[in-house]
Amino acid sequence: MMRLGRRAALLVAFCALAGCATANTPEQERTWAAYEACKAEGRVTHVYIYRVEPNGLARWRASDTAYGFQEAQACMKEQLAKLRRP
């Protein structure tokens, strides 16, 4: 009985550690970097990214209003263009 409990604990620990070892894709890193640059410029207001897909697609949410969403999108487009240049 003790062996089963120990095995289960090891399995849970392994699964937890394996889940924490994931890293962002280069596309995700570019999207987050662009978002941080836009925030630093003050061009992101009332909206935020809550998730970035592996292909770099940002998922947005509005804090209380969608005001500023178009400005945030324009800034992200500009920043991503800068980051993609060699």
Residue 71 lies in domain = 24-84
Total domains present in the chain = 1
% pLDDT > 70, the chain: 73
Is 39 within the bounds of a domain?
A: yes
Buried b (16+ CB within 10 A) or exposed e, 46-71: ebebeebeeebebebeeeeeeebeeb
Residue of 76, 82, 84 lying closest to 58 (CA atoms): 76
Cα distance between residue 45 and residue 32, in whole Å: 16
Contacts of 27 (CB under 8 A, 6+ apart): 54, 55, 56
What's the pTM?
Answer: 0.70
pLDDT at position 1: 47
Is 5 within the bounds of a domain?
A: no
> Which tens digits make up the pLDDT trace of 30-60?
999 999 999 999 999 889 999 999 999 999 9
Residue of 71, 76, 67 lying closest to 32 (CA atoms): 76
With tokens 């947005």, the residue in question is 60
Is 78 within the bounds of a domain?
A: yes
